[in-house]
Amino acid sequence: MFSLANKTIVVTGAGSGIGKAVALLLAEQGATIIVTDIDKQSAAITENEIIHNGGTATFLTFNVANQQEVVETFSQIDTIDVLVTCAGISNIGNAENTSEADFDKVFNVNVKGTYNCIHAAIPIMKRNGGGLIITISSVAAKVGLQDRFAYSMSKGAVHSMTLSVAKDYIKDNIRCNTVSPARIHTPFVDGFLSKNYAGREEEMFDKLSKSQPIGRMGQPNEVAAMIAYLCSDQASFLTGSDYAVDGGFITLNT
């Protein structure tokens, strides 16, 4: 079950964090992975890891926020069975102290970046008889998180885009689902703690972990496992749905 053999899958933001875990796991399941990231070195490292483990991959670099770059890069790809849009950034702040520049940056990467990749992938999928798009939203799209104003805005938009794409392209055999993680232990979390809570990293890590009812942060490979299932033929009846990987955060905290 869940074999991804003969599928070509584009993973954005695959140089680190959730995107990298997704690319590695999908490759293990037999998919050919097109690793994409704005950081060429990180993309190359992920590609090399996949190949070293016996998988098939190639990497492409572009800025998801730049539509011309995205369209030109996607024009080099003949087939896309699945697009997984993991590229994204976070931001700390509320409606008062979030600067216009920070708001625009989050919007451009998380919202426009997701749109740009979907916009470029759909014509390829239509030409090849269909496909699947998986976006990455967040629990922040559904519950209030303190000091996550711009980030929450962006993930709410991603969730709405997913529903729209699922509705508009169902007759083209293109499905679209979203995955909504809670706090996942990635390098971003460690960087955030060292920057904002120097000397108190362990204390704050424990506090953030316990904010999830399950009592810990998720791991990138746990998000990747959900995505692997959604990419498989066994999930072919699913579209327009959101899948929380959140340790009970949404339902048990409200």
Q: Tell me the per-residue pLDDT of 18-48, one tens digit each, with 9 for 90 and over.
A: 999 999 999 999 999 999 999 999 999 999 9
Q: pLDDT at position 162, please?
A: 98
The percentage of residues in the chain with a pLDDT greater than 90, rounded to a whole number, is 86
Rounded mean pLDDT, 221-249: 97
Entry pTM: 0.95
| 238 has pLDDT over 80 | yes
Question: What is the biggest distance separating any 2 CA atoms in the chain, rounded to whole angstroms?
Answer: 55
132 forms beta bridges with 82, 175
Degrees, nearest 5: CA angle 224-229-232: 125
pLDDT of residue 223: 98
Closest CA to 80 of 9, 26, 27, 32: 9
Q: Return the minimum-mean-pLDDT range out of 54-68, 149-163, 178-192.
A: 178-192
Domains identified in the chain and CATH numbers:
8-182+219-252 (3.40.50.720)
151 in active site: yes
Instruction: Give me the pLDDT at residue 254, please.
Output: 58
pLDDT at 86 over 80: yes
Whole-angstrom distance, CA of residue 164 vs CA of residue 146:
28
- What single-letter DSSP state applies at residue 32? E
How many other CB atoms are there within 10 angstroms of residue 153's CB atom? Answer: 20
pLDDT digits (tens, 9 = 90+) for 100-138: 999 999 999 999 999 999 999 999 999 999 999 999 999
pLDDT in tens, 195-227: 878 899 899 899 889 888 999 999 999 999 999
The closest alpha carbon to 163, from 177, 180, 142, belongs to 177
Q: Return the percentage of the chain with pLDDT > 70, whole number.
A: 100
Check: CB of residue 141 under 8 Å from CB of residue 155.
yes
From the candidates 151, 197, 229, 243, which is the catalytic residue? 151
Task: Say yes or no to pLDDT of 187 above 90.
Answer: no
Q: What is the mean pLDDT of residues 71-83?
A: 97
pLDDT at 13: 97
Work out the mean pLDDT of the chain and round it to a whole number. 95
> 1 pLDDT band (50/70/90 cuts)?
confident
